[in-house]
Amino acid sequence: MTKFDPMESLADMQHEFGEHGGVNMSIETSTTFTVMDAETMPEIFHGKRGPDRGCYLYGRHFNPTVYVLGKQLAAIEGAEAGYCSASGMSAIAGTLLQLCATGDHIVSSNTIYGGTFALLNEYLPEKAGLTVSFVDTADLEAIETAFTPKTRALYVETLSNPTLRLADIPALAGIAHRHGVPLVVDNTFCPLMVSPLQLGADIVVHSLTKFINGASDFVAGAVCGSTEFIMSLMDLHNGSLMLLGPTMDPRAAYEIGSRLPHLGLRMAEHSRRAMAFATRLRDLGSPVVYPGLPEHPDHQRFQDLANPEYGFGGIFCLDLGNTERAHRFMEHLQNESRFGFMAVSLGYFDTLMSCSASSTSSELPDDAQRDAGIQPGLVRISIGYTGSLEQRWRQFEEALQVVNGAKAN
Ligand SMILES: *Cc1c(COP(=O)(O)O)cnc(C)c1O
């Protein structure tokens, strides 16, 4: 059997031409759609006709341009279907609300994106009466025992943020399925690199704001899974995406779709640069975390589970020991070397750096940060591909020398 390749799967899709035979598809900006026969309208309302048959209703329901992007993302993940939303958070919230009712329970990884942690730890318990158990996903026994008869989903991220531990997706899917619930995976850090649905997961959510978009100019999200689940999200009576209304603008869908053809090239170059930096830092004896290094606890698992063409990802972490040193290091890199930017987010063409404990993971209380292994001086670096690798390494090495006091600032 040939192994699944996300970019091959995307290229196998039927090409969407523009209305006038343009090589690019047209942007459908309309918020409402006509029908030729009056009887078609009730059929759309009753779900008998839908976008698969070219029938559209209203912009908050399916939009043709957004629908194509959803299909493209589904192809990349090897899913039956996909649809997009206005942000990664709305894709996550919509998915979990679709799966759960008041009083239900979710088992979640304890090392997740700060916004998702706040959603699961505070918002959903308060507003929807859900209960959530946060567990270290590396501890399969603890995951198993966290399940209750009320559990409706197991929620993890492919690569934990910022500790970069790779979830054992086949094992986690096995546990979830034994309890009759879906495994939901946030694959934002690993587009193309890991294909969770091919490894047993049931639903993949993405923040398209990061690598998939690649230019830090759109906030967007997507859900990929079975046709049944995607249609349920868009149901006119109880679909979370339809009724809560985090609608993606078709102009955004077009823009993001136009970046998918080079996603493979971008991921491979992000990974090549991150691997070079991580290897050199390791050789200097610096405390660097990167799954591409043989010393990383999940290096072997990564090789076993990942698609081979796209490397080990564009993110590595460096522990500067304490917050002050971490801040001085990032300031030098941004303001003196022009190496990159002190900013949250990731997957940009330039390098983005943040100190996780005091920024993107600050929603986690101190003890939860400690449990998750997030050190106060840990700098998360999403490596860009502008300039040359050697130029960027010279800048990086200089900043290291400055914080180490080997060179006057
Ligand atoms: C950014 C991010 C999100 C949230 O996505 P938005 O597009 O900002 O709403 C969720 N999960 C992960 C892993 C992220 O990095």
Same structural domain for residues 216 and 302? no
Distance in Å, CA 384 to ligand 1 centroid: 18
The 10 Å CB-count burial string (b at 16+, else e) for 161-182 is bbbbbbbbbbebbebbeeeebb
Flag whether 408 is in a domain.
no
Residue that finishes a domain, picked among 208, 242, 261: 261
Pocket of ligand 1 contains residue 210 by CB under 6 Å: yes
Atom of ligand 1 nearest to the CA of 189: 13
Mean pLDDT score, 59-82: 98
Name the residue type at position 15.
H
Mean pLDDT score, 164-179: 98
Distance from C-alpha of 20 to C-alpha of 23, rounded to nearest angstrom: 9
Pocket of ligand 1 contains residue 85 by CB under 6 Å: no
pLDDT confidence of residue 361: 75
pLDDT confidence of residue 370: 76
| Tally of domains within the chain | 2
Same structural domain for residues 235 and 374? no
> Quick one: pLDDT band at residue 408, thresholds 50, 70, 90?
low
Pocket of ligand 1 contains residue 191 by CB under 6 Å: no
- Show the domain range for 310: 262-403
Distance from C-alpha of 295 to C-alpha of 308, rounded to nearest angstrom: 19
Distance from C-alpha of 339 to C-alpha of 388, rounded to nearest angstrom: 11
- The percent of residues above 90 in pLDDT, for the chain, comes to 89
Same structural domain for residues 246 and 321? no
Q: Among 55-59, 177-181, 373-377, which stretch is predicted with the lowest mean pLDDT?
A: 373-377
Same structural domain for residues 346 and 205? no
Flag whether 1 is in a domain.
no
Same structural domain for residues 145 and 42? yes
pLDDT confidence of residue 20: 95
Please give the DSSP secondary-structure letter assigned to residue 51: G
Pocket of ligand 1 contains residue 209 by CB under 6 Å: yes
Distance in Å, CA 37 to ligand 1 centroid: 42
Which CATH number fits the domain that encloses residue 285? 3.90.1150.10
- 31 to each of 137, 245, 325, how far by Cα in Å? 42, 13, 51
Q: Does residue 360 have a pLDDT over 90? A: no
Q: Does residue 92 have a pLDDT over 60? A: yes
Same structural domain for residues 298 and 251? no
Distance in Å, CA 85 to ligand 1 centroid: 12
Name the residue type at position 9.
S
Same structural domain for residues 70 and 210? yes
| DSSP code string of 304-369 | HHS-GGGTT-SEEEEE-SSHHHHHHHHHIIIIIS--EEE-S----SSEEEEEGGGTTTTTS-HHHH
Same structural domain for residues 172 and 276? no
- 353 to each of 73, 327, 393, how far by Cα in Å? 27, 10, 15
Mean pLDDT score, 209-217: 97
Flag whether 373 is in a domain.
yes
pLDDT tens for each residue of 300-326:
999 999 999 999 999 999 999 999 999
Flag whether 121 is in a domain.
yes
Residue that finishes a domain, picked among 244, 261, 278: 261
Residue that finishes a domain, picked among 206, 237, 261: 261
| DSSP code string of 166-187 | BP-HHHHHHHHHHTT--EEEE-
Which CATH number fits the domain that encloses residue 253? 3.40.640.10
pLDDT confidence of residue 407: 62
Pocket of ligand 1 contains residue 94 by CB under 6 Å: no
Pocket of ligand 1 contains residue 202 by CB under 6 Å: no
The 10 Å CB-count burial string (b at 16+, else e) for 8-30 is ebbeeeeebeeeeeeeebebbee
Pocket of ligand 1 contains residue 115 by CB under 6 Å: yes
Single pTM value for the model: 0.96
Q: Whose CA is nearest to atom 4 of ligand 1?
A: 88
Atom of ligand 1 nearest to the CA of 112: 13
Q: Does residue 1 have a pLDDT over 60? A: no
Token couple for 383: 């490596």
Mean pLDDT score, 7-36: 95
The mean pLDDT value of the chain amounts to 95
Please give the DSSP secondary-structure letter assigned to residue 36: S
pLDDT tens for each residue of 268-305:
999 999 999 999 999 999 999 999 999 999 999 999 99
Pocket of ligand 1 contains residue 269 by CB under 6 Å: no
pLDDT confidence of residue 406: 65
Mean pLDDT score, 137-146: 97
Name the residue type at position 144.
E
